[in-house]
Structure formats: C-alpha cells, structure tokens
C-alpha cells in the first residue's frame, strides 16, 4: 500500500521543544529538534508541522489534542505519552518507543510506524486510514472499537493485542505473529491470515482439526 509521506522542507531551523512555551500559540513548524528531553510536561493543543524530531524524550508528557502534520520522529521515546483526541497525518515514527502511549479517539492518516515498540499502546475509538505498522512490537496493544481503512500489519508482534469491536475486513496480518488475540469471529470476517493463523482461529469456532 502506498501512503503519503511527510512533506518536510530541506531547510529546517534548529529549535528546542521548550520553545513552544515562548510562542503566542503552542506551535512549532519548519524545524529540526534533536536531543530534547520534554518528559513529564503538559501542554494541550500543540501544533507540530513540517518538522523532524531526533533522539528526543517525551516520557509521561500530556500532548492531548495535538495536531501533527508532515512530521518525522526518529529514535524518540514517547512512552506513556498522552495523545488523546489528536490529529496525526502524514507522519512517521521510526525506531521509536511508544510503550503505553495513548492515541485514543484520534484521527490517524497516512502514518507509518516502523521498527517501533508500541506494547500496551491504546488506540481505542480512533479512526485509522492508510496506516502501516512495519516490523513493530504491538503486544497487548488495544484497538477497541476502531475504524480501519487500509491498515497493514507487516511482520509485527501482535500477541495479546485486542481488536474488540473492530472489524479486520481487508486487513492483512498474515506476516505477523501471535499466540493469542482478543477478537470475535464476526470481527475476523474478511481478515487475511496465514494457514497457521487460520488453524489458531479455528478454535474460536470450536473446531477440532484432525489430520
């Protein structure tokens, strides 16, 4: 699946993330931010546009209702970050740690998570369109009552992830691995799975497979 990549200018101004406190509106744009530690902070409705963030730390920071557009995060730690009710579009999270991050009730489109840790992350009640999870760990991730449109899980660890109330019709999870998922038979209809996964899911139907 082809998704729109972030539209980031070649010429970027170096800034610190704390500069957001000195703006009339909480907005950072056309910048590169490296090595910032912005942990345990709280700032709502931050607007982050056309920027690159490298080696930054945002542990336990409240970014609720954040607006992210045309942004790339590289080697950043966003563990337990709160992005509740955020808008995230044309963004990339590369080699990032998002352990326990909260994306609930968000709009997420044309976003790629690659080589990232999203264990115990929360996406409940979010709308995901053109989202690619590539080589990610999503163990115990929660996708409760999400709306999926063109979502891919490629070579991901999905063990104990929950898709309760979320249809996986047209979603390909065949290259990913797991021992168990929280999902109903109805939500599995139309999901693309491997042979071994189909055998695992047959237990949901109460089938006994005999060679």
At 91-142, the pLDDT tens digits run 999 999 999 999 999 999 999 999 999 999 999 999 999 999 999 999 999 9
Residue 197: in which H helix or E strand, if any?
helix 195-201
pLDDT of residue 132: 98
Residue-by-residue DSSP string for 109-153: EEEEEES-B-TT-B-TT-EEEEEEEES-B-TT-B-TT-EEEEEEE
In a domain, 3, yes or no: no
- Tracing tokens 């709306």 back to the chain, one arrives at 147
In a domain, 168, yes or no: yes
At 141-172, the pLDDT tens digits run 999 999 999 999 999 999 999 999 999 999 99
- Tracing tokens 């840790």 back to the chain, one arrives at 117
CATH number at residue 114: 2.160.20.80
In a domain, 65, yes or no: yes
In a domain, 7, yes or no: no
Q: How many domains does the chain have?
A: 1
């Amino acid at each position: 699946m082809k998704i729109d990549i972030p539209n980031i200018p070649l010429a970027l101004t170096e800034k610190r993330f704390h500069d957001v406190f000195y703006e009339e509106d909480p907005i950072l744009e056309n910048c590169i931010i490296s090595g910032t530690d912005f942990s345990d902070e709280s700032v709502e409705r931050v607007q982050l546009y056309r920027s690159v963030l490298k080696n930054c730390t945002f542990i336990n920071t409240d970014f609720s209702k954040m607006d992210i557009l045309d942004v790339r995060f590289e080697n950043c730690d966003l563990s337990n970050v709160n992005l509740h009710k955020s808008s995230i579009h044309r963004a990339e999270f590369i080699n990032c740690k998002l352990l326990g991050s909260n994306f609930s009730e968000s709009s997420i489109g044309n976003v790629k998570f690659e080589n990232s840790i999203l264990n115990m992350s929360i996406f409940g009640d979010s709308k995901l369109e053109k989202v690619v999870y590539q080589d990610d760990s999503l163990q115990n991730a929660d996708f409760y009552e999400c709306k999926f449109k063109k979502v891919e899980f490629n070579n991901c660890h999905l063990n104990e992830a929950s898709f309760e109330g979320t249809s996986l019709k047209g979603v390909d999870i065949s290259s990913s691995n797991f021992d168990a998922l929280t999902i109903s038979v109805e939500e599995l209809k139309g999901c693309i799975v491997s042979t071994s996964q189909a055998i695992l899911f047959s237990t949901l139907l109460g089938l006994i497979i005999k060679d």
